[in-house]
Amino acid sequence: MPPQVGVGVGVGVGAVTAYALRASRQSSPSYGLTTSALIKQTKRAHVRQFSLFSRPNASKRSNPTKAARWLFPPKHIARALSGKPLPQRRSVILNFAYRTAALLGTGFGFIGILFAAFFLYDSTTYKESALTFGDCQVSEAALNPRRGGPKNLPIIEALLDDDDSPDAKKKKSKPRLVILGGGWGSVALLKQLNPEDYHVTVISPKNYFLFTPMLPSATVGTLEMRSLVEPIRRILTRIGGHYLRASAEDVEFSHKLVEVSQTDSRGQDVRFYVPYDKLVIAVGSVTNPHGVKGLDNCFFLKDINDARRIRNQVMKNLELACLPITADDERKRLLSFVISGGGPTGVEFAAELFDLLNEDLTRRFPRLLRNEISVHLIQSREHILNTYDEALSKYAEDRFARDQVEVLVNSRVKEVQEDKIIFSQKCEDGTILTKELPMGFCLWSTGVSQSELCQRLAAKLGSAQNNRHALETDTHLRLNGTPLGDVYAIGDCSTVQNNVADNVVTFLRGHAFKQGKDPETVELHFNDWRGVAKDVKRRFPQAAAHLKRVDKLFAQFDKDQSGTLDFGELRELLKQIDSKLTSLPATAQRANQQGLYLAKKFNKLAHAAPGLRANEIRDGDLDEACYKAFEYHHLGSLAYVGNSAVFDLGGGWGVTGGLWAVYAWRSVYFAQSVGVRTRVLMAMDWAKRGLFGRDLMSF
């Protein structure tokens, strides 16, 4: 075990250094005396010590053999191991020097040990000879899948690695959990899921999970791309899941088949079905064009490749600006960077870009560039970061003002041309001016909209889906309009429907009918109402906040003071609550919470299901029977705004600060990062930045 070795060598080094020092003086009398004093003190102990460690005095044996020398290590090591005191000096200075040397020596020795240990470990990571498994077992179904389904495509009922290991074999009988997408939602789900209960297959066009919140840092090289991504296969290893690199095109809800497409090596688009027992749709969202012309002149920031493209474009512009043949106005244009969209992404990119230009550019590029660079942030609302507390927005704006990042609020982009951006700005007096801004680079980061797949599914489900922006789910995250417990949707591609009023009233009405009452005449007394409220709270956790004072509400809506609520009054009451419920934000935080929620529920379902099916369950609603509805807890949001950061802790609480906040901001993401690997890499990158700055290169 290294530590103990560490001691030996550690002090070894220390003492050696120390001895060097000591050599400068004659061997001091005090030394001999101290020890002798000690020997007097602890005679018995010392006898034992000698026999154990230290070398017997010369008198005892004249010239020790090799073996003996091995048995009795040199004095200073012996001392390190035995408890004998370090030699004493008369001079405090010398004692101090002596200790210092010993301690430094130990410290460096210790580090040396750690290095050695690492190399030892590293040397074990090389596989000397080629691994071969001999013939490995692959089911016929995996090699030649049968055709079927509505479109008579191959149906992937078995995978190539289904028989690779005993564990894998066991899973073949488990329910098939298919997950579309490899973003925050999916990964949270995968990390929480029990390894035994499901046969998991992830289908995504990208074979890595991307740590989106840090993406702006990667655009300028504060972080490396690879530090923000984790291979999905690595994440799947724990639960022995499978991965297919392909994109989902459609879902046959009635056949429980996902239609998947992949372009083969000859560039042809091949399609096939993947069957599921449970399907989780977590395909995220796409950039929102807001119907603006010329977005092909813009850069986006949703993917790791976007980050590289941006990085290269920024470098390209800088290099072009360095050429004396570039005319001056052209140079100004090349160095005018426009960010459209004042959300966290836009703001953080602006901040990172400014850091790059301010910290690194000036070192290596002509000064002229620094003076001609301009960064512009176009925001349609009154403030940037408008989802944050206003104080924080203000702080960010002041910060940017100081950093010479121009913030253009109340401005809507009309068109993006190759070399300029045209936008309309609302002035204080309400008049709307159309302005244009020459630019060499434009980032488009103005919110998200629905992916093609989701649009297709929504259309398919017809009346059950009434939201243009996302797939609607109930509070158990089940996709509305699909058989209960089959299909779930989480993350940016979904939204939780909170139609309390319709839902409850319909239910009560049905209930009344069952009891042979006329719904219109039913009256709820306060107790009934309390029961209803309880039920609402359970089924719509987000509504709970608005149902705190049940009595107050009752009094307020019991217009006729009858001491009872009729359906009309009840509907009014619930409608009011609905109106107060906002839809959940499209953030990593939400996706993460939904993923965890599903994982926990699936873990429960896997075991509870059989038992529950036995007893009679209301509407066969397994999910509701064995797990609570999803409730979103906002933990606050944070943003980097250029050598300072803002934290919105919700409820009007906010923190802003300089460098310490930056470190805090980093630690938050460091902690949230997906695994050890990404954490180590991030740390390395931050160290790199500190040591060498960002490397201004473009490949």
Residue from the set 23, 67, 143, 427 that interacts with its own copies by CB under 8 A: 143
**What is the rounded distance in angstroms from the CA atom of residue 25 to the CA atom of residue 46?**
27
Enumerate residues 610-669 that contact its own copies by CB under 8 A: 643, 658-659, 662-663
Q: Which is nearer to its own copies, 418 or 560 (CB)?
A: 418
Q: Which is nearer to its own copies, 430 or 690 (CB)?
A: 690
Q: Which is nearer to its own copies, 73 or 636 (CB)?
A: 73
- Of 86-94, 339-347, 556-564, 574-582, which part binds its own copies (CB under 8 A)? 86-94
How far from 618 is each of 613, 614, 621, 626, CA to CA, in Å?
A: 11, 12, 6, 12
Tokens coding 321:
């600006």
Enumerate residues 330-349 that contact its own copies by CB under 8 A: 330, 334
- Of 132-140, 388-396, 556-564, 630-638, which part binds its own copies (CB under 8 A)? 132-140
Question: CB of residue 644 vs its own copies: minimum separation in angstroms?
Answer: 9
Interaction between residue 698 and its own copies (CB under 8 A): yes
Interaction between residue 100 and its own copies (CB under 8 A): yes
CB 102 within 8 A of CB 14: yes
Enumerate residues 388-447 that contact its own copies by CB under 8 A: 402-404, 418-419, 440
Residue from the set 1, 59, 62, 367 that interacts with its own copies by CB under 8 A: 367
What are the helix (H) ranges across 172-291?
184-192, 215-219, 232-237
Question: CB of residue 307 vs its own copies: minimum separation in angstroms?
Answer: 9
Residue 598 DSSP class: H
**What is the rounded distance in angstroms from the CA atom of residue 303 to the CA atom of residue 345?**
12
What are the helix (H) ranges across 229-341?
232-237, 304-322, 328-334
CB 202 within 8 A of CB 283: no
Count other C-beta atoms under 10 Å from residue 578's C-beta.
17
What are the helix (H) ranges across 323-472?
328-334, 344-355, 362-364, 367-372, 390-402, 452-461
Question: CB of residue 471 vs its own copies: minimum separation in angstroms?
Answer: 27
Binding mask 217-256 for its own copies (x = CB under 8 A): -------xxx--xxx-xx--x-----xxxx----------
Enumerate residues 276-305 that contact its own copies by CB under 8 A: 304-305
Contacts of 91 (CB under 8 A, 6+ apart): none
Residue from the set 16, 158, 649, 668 that interacts with its own copies by CB under 8 A: 158
Nearest to 99, CA basis, from 193, 161, 18: 18
Interaction between residue 566 and its own copies (CB under 8 A): no
CB 652 within 8 A of CB 672: no
Question: CB of residue 256 vs its own copies: minimum separation in angstroms?
Answer: 18
Question: CB of residue 695 vs its own copies: minimum separation in angstroms?
Answer: 6
Interaction between residue 358 and its own copies (CB under 8 A): yes
Crossing angle of helices 500-514 and 567-580, in 10° steps, is: 150
Question: CB of residue 104 vs its own copies: minimum separation in angstroms?
Answer: 6
Residue from the set 55, 256, 537, 689 that interacts with its own copies by CB under 8 A: 689
Q: Which is nearer to its own copies, 208 or 630 (CB)?
A: 208
**What is the rounded distance in angstroms from the CA atom of residue 411 to the CA atom of residue 395?**
20
150 Rama class: left (phi>0) / alpha (psi -120 to 50) / beta: alpha
CB 397 within 8 A of CB 384: yes
Tokens coding 325:
């043949």
Interaction between residue 126 and its own copies (CB under 8 A): yes
Enumerate residues 437-456 that contact its own copies by CB under 8 A: 440
Question: CB of residue 389 vs its own copies: minimum separation in angstroms?
Answer: 24
Residue from the set 128, 269, 296, 428 that interacts with its own copies by CB under 8 A: 128
Enumerate residues 54-83 that contact its own copies by CB under 8 A: 80-83
Q: Which is nearer to its own copies, 247 or 482 (CB)?
A: 247
Residue from the set 17, 22, 49, 396 that interacts with its own copies by CB under 8 A: 49
- Of 7-15, 248-256, 454-462, 627-635, which part binds its own copies (CB under 8 A)? 7-15
Q: Which amino acid is at 690?
A: G
Contacts of 643 (CB under 8 A, 6+ apart): 355, 658, 659, 662
Question: CB of residue 81 vs its own copies: minimum separation in angstroms?
Answer: 6
Enumerate residues 465-524 that contact its own copies by CB under 8 A: none
Question: CB of residue 99 vs its own copies: minimum separation in angstroms?
Answer: 6
E strand residue ranges, 568-623: none
Q: Which is nearer to its own copies, 145 or 485 (CB)?
A: 145
The site for its own copies, by CB under 8 A, has a size of 151
E strand residue ranges, 440-503: 441-444, 448-449, 471-473, 487-489, 494-496
Residue from the set 325, 427, 614, 671 that interacts with its own copies by CB under 8 A: 325
Tokens coding 137:
């077992």
Contacts of 139 (CB under 8 A, 6+ apart): 158, 162, 163
Interaction between residue 107 and its own copies (CB under 8 A): yes
Helix (H, G, I), strand (E, B) or coil at 525: strand
Question: CB of residue 659 vs its own copies: minimum separation in angstroms?
Answer: 6
Enumerate residues 11-40 that contact its own copies by CB under 8 A: 11, 30, 33-34, 37-38
Interaction between residue 172 and its own copies (CB under 8 A): no
Interaction between residue 266 and its own copies (CB under 8 A): yes
Interaction between residue 91 and its own copies (CB under 8 A): yes
Question: CB of residue 576 vs its own copies: minimum separation in angstroms?
Answer: 50
CB 220 within 8 A of CB 355: yes
Residue from the set 23, 58, 67, 130 that interacts with its own copies by CB under 8 A: 130
Residue from the set 192, 194, 288, 326 that interacts with its own copies by CB under 8 A: 326
Q: What is the 3-state secondary structure (H, E, C) of 365-402?
A: CCHHHHHHCEEEEECCCCCCCCCCCHHHHHHHHHHHHH
CB 466 within 8 A of CB 498: no
- Of 93-101, 278-286, 378-386, 525-533, which part binds its own copies (CB under 8 A)? 93-101
- The helices-and-strands tally (H runs, E runs) of the chain is 26, 28
Residue from the set 219, 317, 374, 593 that interacts with its own copies by CB under 8 A: 317
Residue 561 DSSP class: -
Q: Which is nearer to its own copies, 105 or 541 (CB)?
A: 105
What are the helix (H) ranges across 163-245?
166-171, 184-192, 215-219, 232-237
CB 506 within 8 A of CB 513: no
Helix (H, G, I), strand (E, B) or coil at 336: strand
Q: Which is nearer to its own copies, 113 or 629 (CB)?
A: 113
- Of 120-128, 342-350, 442-450, 577-585, which part binds its own copies (CB under 8 A)? 120-128
Binding mask 182-221 for its own copies (x = CB under 8 A): -------------------------xx-------------
Q: What are phi and psi of 363, to 5 degrees?
A: -70, -40
